[in-house]
Structure 1
Amino acid sequence: MKARWDIFCSVVDNFGDIGVTWRLARQLAAEHACAVRLWVDDLRAFERMCPEVDVQLTQQWQEGVDVRHWPRNWTTTEPADVVIAAFACQLPHDYMEGMAQRERVPLWMNLDYLSAEEWVVGCHGLPSVKFKGVQKYFFFPGFGPGTGGLLRETGLVDRRQAFQRDPQAQQQFLQSLGVFPMAGTRLISLFAYENTGLASWLEVLAAQLQATHLLVPEGRILGDLQAWLEVEALAVGDVHRRGALTVQVLPFMRQEQYDRLLWCCDFNAVRGEDSFVRAQWAGRPLLWHIYRQDEDIHLDKLDAFLALYTEGLSPAAKAALIALWQAWNADGDMAESWTRLLEHWPQVTQHAEKWCLERGLQADLATALVQFYESWI
């Protein structure tokens, strides 16, 4: 019989948590024949990336996944064979009691946040707390051996490369979004948290000789964009031009569309975790707006990734890339670091593809989870 999996997702940051768990649930069902229940406490957030979801239903099937609303008042449910608490969310007490009462206790894992910090390798796969004899394990995604890998569907990199070799496919996709860039224009996608440093970046883009078309899916950065454009409001479909810069607001899109948007662009500014990983699979230079945490502990995670990601770059290119990322994550002035990065554009572009292909050599996250379960039983 197929193993039954329960994935619990408490939506904290609008889309990052549900973005990761939704991709994982679909891949486990489609590629590993797992029976998956995805428990989500905020179906409204889920609806943005899966419009077919009926937010009024407590149970429904979407793309082979049994989607359940995670209610505040929990009702008795038989626990699955594998239980994933995504990002350290607290399982319902009655559900935990049910795990302990099973004849064969389930494998219980905390799927943690993505990090390149060195301590992750030492903690990945280790036992954590127990609840009445049910052992929980740490499971860490990561960028290299000794971690759980990254979410990546089978054949993803091949599909991406084929799409990027097909100018007509890219044009058709962009036109489906109402995007008609001029020939020779640099395409940049922007998905970020609020950032007062945006204005300095936009100023330098507007002043450059090469034209830039900035594609901005709906999100929290629109307020800063609106202030720079000096307009009363921004809506989907709006197009504004200033100097060499064209700014266009796109609708919030489902994950498969967003992937293709990243594949079309020459540079991708992304936020959180799900879009961060997808930008790496795009094989293009990127800029990560990391989720801000108390006491700036997120900067340790940022620095750890930069140390790993910039290996193999020339000292000048490495310094330029690090300066850009640090300025962006400190709401700093982006003009000088962006200009410096452009001096090394061919190198950082080649490096992005090389990084992607190297990450693709390790097992993907869904496969690693299945292998962990098979070893455990």
Structure 2
Amino acid sequence: MKARWDIFCSVVDNYGDIGVTWRLARQLVVEHACDVRLWVDDLRAFERMCPDIDVHLAQQWQEGVDVRHWPSEWVAAPAADVVIAAFACQLPPDYMEAMAERQRTPLWMNLDYLSAEEWVVGCHRLPSVKFKGVQKYFFFPGFRPGTGGLLREAGLLEQRHAFQQDVAAQQHFLQGLGVFPLAGARLISLFAYENAGLARWLDVLSTDGRATHLLVPEGRILGDVARWLGVEGLAAGAVHQRQALTVQVLPFVRQEQYDRLLWCCDFNAVRGEDSFVRAQWAGRPLLWHIYRQDEDIHLDKLDAFLELYTAALSPAARAALVSLWQAWNTEGDMAQPWKMLMEHWPEVLAHAERWCLEQGLQADLATALVQFYESWI
């Protein structure tokens, strides 16, 4: 019999949490024949990346996944064989009672946030708290051997490579979004949180000797882009040009389309967790806007990733990349770090592809979760 999985997602920053759990749920169904219920407390946020969602339904099927609205007033539901609390969300008390009442208690996991910090390896798959005999385990995605790996669908890297070799396919995709860049223009995608450091970066791009076409999916950074352009507001479809820089706002698209957008671009600025991982699978240089946390502890996570990611770069290229990422995440001056990065562009570009292929040698997150369940039973 197929194992039954329950994944609980409490939407915090609109897209990151649901982005990860939606990809995971679909992959468990398609590649591992799991029976998956995805409990989501905010269907309107979910609707942005899955427009077929009916936000008024308590239960519906989407791409083989049983999607359930997670109501504030819990309605009794039987516990599954595997229970995932995504990003440390708190399960409904009545559901926890249902877990404890099962003849065979479920495998209960806290799917934690992605981190490159060394301590993650030591904590991965360790037991956590118990609830009436039901043991919870830590499960950490990660970049190092000994972690749960990253979300990666079967054949993803092969699909990406074929797409990037097919200029006609890229042009067709971009034209479907209404994007018609100038010949030879640098393509950059920008998906980020609010950032006061954006203006200096856009200043540099606009005065560069090479044309840049900046593609900005709808999101929180639009206010900063609008202020730099000197316009009242921006919406999908807007196109503005200032000297060498063309700024175009794109609609929020499905995850598969966003993946292809990243594959088309020469450089990708991303945020949070889901888009961060997808930018790495694009095999192109990237800039990560990490989610800000109290007391700036997010900067420790940023430094841990940079230490791992830049280890194989030359000292000069490493310094350029590190200074750019640190400036972006502290709202510092982006002008000089960007110019430094351009001086080492061939090395940074080749490194992005190597890093992608190296990460692709590890088991993907969905497979690691299934393997843990199989070893647990």
Tell me the TM-score normalized by structure 1: 1.00
- Helix, strand or coil for the counterpart of 1:13? coil
Q: Find the counterpart in structure 1 of residue 227 from structure 2.
A: 227
Q: Find the counterpart in structure 2 of residue 57 from structure 1.
A: 57
Amino acid at match of 1:298: H
- Helix, strand or coil for the counterpart of 2:160? helix
1:75 positional shift: 1.3
> Alpha-carbon deviations, 1:291-316, whole Å to 9, x = none?
00000000000000000000110000
Amino acid at match of 2:376: W
- Helix, strand or coil for the counterpart of 1:322? helix
Figure out how many residues of one structure are paired with residues of the other and give that number.
Answer: 377
- Helix, strand or coil for the counterpart of 1:220? coil
Q: Find the counterpart in structure 1 of residue 123 from structure 2.
A: 123
Q: Quick one: distance in 1 between partners of 2:46 and 2:234? A: 23
* Matched ranges for 1:341-356 at <5 A: 341-356=341-356
Q: Find the counterpart in structure 1 of residue 25 from structure 2.
A: 25
Q: Find the counterpart in structure 1 of residue 202 from structure 2.
A: 202
Q: Which stretches in structure 2 are left out of the alignment for 5+ residues?
A: none
Residue 247 (str. 1) matches residue 247 (str. 2)? yes
1:102 positional shift: 0.3
Residue 375 (str. 1) matches residue 375 (str. 2)? yes
Amino acid at match of 2:22: W
Q: Quick one: distance in 2 between partners of 1:333 and 1:227? A: 17
> Alpha-carbon deviations, 1:18-69, whole Å to 9, x = none?
0000000000000000000000000000000000000000000000000000
Q: Find the counterpart in structure 2 of residue 301 from structure 1.
A: 301
Amino acid at match of 2:360: G
1:233 positional shift: 1.5
- Helix, strand or coil for the counterpart of 1:125? coil
Q: Quick one: distance in 2 between partners of 1:312 and 1:26? A: 34
1:110 positional shift: 0.2
Q: Find the counterpart in structure 2 of residue 106 from structure 1.
A: 106
Amino acid at match of 1:328: W
- Helix, strand or coil for the counterpart of 2:138? strand
- Helix, strand or coil for the counterpart of 2:46? helix
Residue 138 (str. 1) matches residue 126 (str. 2)? no
1:83 positional shift: 0.1
Q: Quick one: distance in 1 between partners of 2:76 and 2:164? A: 49
Q: Quick one: distance in 2 between partners of 1:100 and 1:294? A: 35
- Helix, strand or coil for the counterpart of 1:253? coil
Q: Quick one: distance in 1 between partners of 2:216 and 2:232? A: 17
* Matched ranges for 1:277-296 at <5 A: 277-296=277-296
Which aligned segments of 4 or more residues in structure 1 are displaced greater than 2 angstroms? none
- Helix, strand or coil for the counterpart of 2:8? strand
Tell me the TM-score normalized by structure 2: 1.00
Amino acid at match of 1:118: E
Q: Find the counterpart in structure 2 of residue 331 from structure 1.
A: 331
Q: Quick one: distance in 2 between partners of 1:332 and 1:296? A: 15
1:345 positional shift: 0.3
Amino acid at match of 1:140: F
Q: Find the counterpart in structure 1 of residue 187 from structure 2.
A: 187
Amino acid at match of 2:129: V
The percentage of counterpart residues that share the same residue type is 81
Q: Quick one: distance in 2 between partners of 1:88 and 1:43? A: 19
- Helix, strand or coil for the counterpart of 1:30? helix
Amino acid at match of 2:16: G
Q: Quick one: distance in 2 between partners of 1:235 and 1:376? A: 49
Q: Quick one: distance in 2 between partners of 1:344 and 1:282? A: 19
Amino acid at match of 2:218: E
> Alpha-carbon deviations, 1:84-129, whole Å to 9, x = none?
0000000000000000010000000000000000000000000000
Q: Quick one: distance in 2 between partners of 1:232 and 1:277? A: 33
1:144 positional shift: 1.9
Q: Quick one: distance in 2 between partners of 1:95 and 1:233? A: 44
Q: Find the counterpart in structure 1 of residue 73 from structure 2.
A: 73
1:16 positional shift: 0.1
Q: Quick one: distance in 2 between partners of 1:179 and 1:335? A: 26
1:235 positional shift: 1.4
Q: Which stretches in structure 1 are left out of the alignment for 5+ residues?
A: none
Q: Find the counterpart in structure 1 of residue 211 from structure 2.
A: 211
